[in-house]
Amino acid sequence: MSIIKFLNEFTTDNLEEKRTSRRAVFGQMGELGKKVALAAIPLGLGAMGNKVKAAGPNTINEDHISALQLALTLEYLEDEFYLKALDSGVLAGNPRAEAVYMQISKHESAHVAFLQSVLADNSVDKPTFDFTVGGAFDPFNESGVGQETAYAQLLALAQAFEDTGVRAYKGQAGNLMGVSDGAVLTAGLQIHSVEARHASEIRRLRGLDGWITEKERGAGMPEATQAVYNGEENINQAGVDVTTLGSGSPFTSEAATQAYDEPMSGDTATTIASLFITT
């Protein structure tokens, strides 16, 4: 399912407005290219340009836009989640967690603004989120589940969102190849590694390793989050079984699965995000 089709199920009007004729889309692509190039310059990417042969045709197509729209949707979700978490008071009394959430929140807000500037007219609107998943969770202690339980759920949801973000960006990397001499791909990778930093810290706040072993979601993670981790047990990397490359601790299935994060398809990322989207 493409992100456009997915969002169309949740929104009644915005995508019909956004949906444009093929000709108009190509016009917007030219604009996108310019905006990407502009956005890239302050990041120092502009200076790198031109010398490198582009990995593919240097044009923006619907795959690129869909990938960036999926990214923006996930960033909207994370951005709103961290803002509500900080506003909820649930983190009070946990200065480290509060500081970590503030830093992550700052980054997710910046990611939203950055992707909006890159997508420009192709930006999707922010969905309406329900972080209780219909009342199953109470991460902001709105229904009085209590600070302790709310705090545990707040951290568990953050872990699920960050580990999903890492996998989802990775899954879209191939779709971002070859635009503006790689500037869009590079920007995607630059967000991707920040999500991985977040994931590591949230996991460690929860008492886990910063990296994922096999397909374990980790102690205290709700069963509903298992979809975030399925597939992480892969040991076949580009046709190589990475448990057979030597002997000793680096080649156990534990280490060999920790050492590689696995990509997630756009469909899977969409399914996970849709749990938290009402309209």
Partner 1 sequence: MKSKLVLNQKISGKTPNSRRNFIKVSGLAMAGAGLLISCDDDDMITDPNPEVFDLGGGDLGVLNYAYALEQLESAFYTRVVNGSYWSGASGEEQMILEDLYNHEVNHREFFKAALNANFSEEQILPESLEFNFADVDFSSRDSVLGTAKVLEDTGVLAYNGAGRIIETADYLVMAGKIVSVEARHAAAIRSILGNDMDDYLAFAGDDIVDSNGLDGALNPSEIIQAAGGFFSTPFTANQLP
- Determine how many CB atoms are found less than 10 A away from the CB of residue 261: 18
Residue type, 108: E
- At closest approach, how far in Å is the CB of 255 from partner 1? 4
Please identify, using beta-carbon distances, which residue of 129 and 211 lies nearer to partner 1.
211
Sequence-ordered strand ranges (E) for the chain: 236-237, 240-241
Please identify, using beta-carbon distances, which residue of 75 and 138 lies nearer to partner 1.
75
Please identify, using beta-carbon distances, which residue of 62 and 130 lies nearer to partner 1.
62
d(CA 163, CA 160) in angstroms, rounded, equals 5
Contact 228, 272 (CB under 8 A): yes
Looking at the chain, list the stretches that DSSP marks H as alpha helix, in order from N- to C-terminal side: 3-10, 14-18, 22-40, 62-88, 95-119, 147-172, 183-205, 253-258, 266-274
The tokens of 221 are what? Answer: 């993670």
Please identify, using beta-carbon distances, which residue of 224 and 263 lies nearer to partner 1.
263
Contact 115, 123 (CB under 8 A): yes
Please identify, using beta-carbon distances, which residue of 92 and 240 lies nearer to partner 1.
240
- At closest approach, how far in Å is the CB of 138 from partner 1? 26
- At closest approach, how far in Å is the CB of 178 from partner 1? 9
d(CA 115, CA 29) in angstroms, rounded, equals 15
- At closest approach, how far in Å is the CB of 71 from partner 1? 12
- At closest approach, how far in Å is the CB of 89 from partner 1? 19
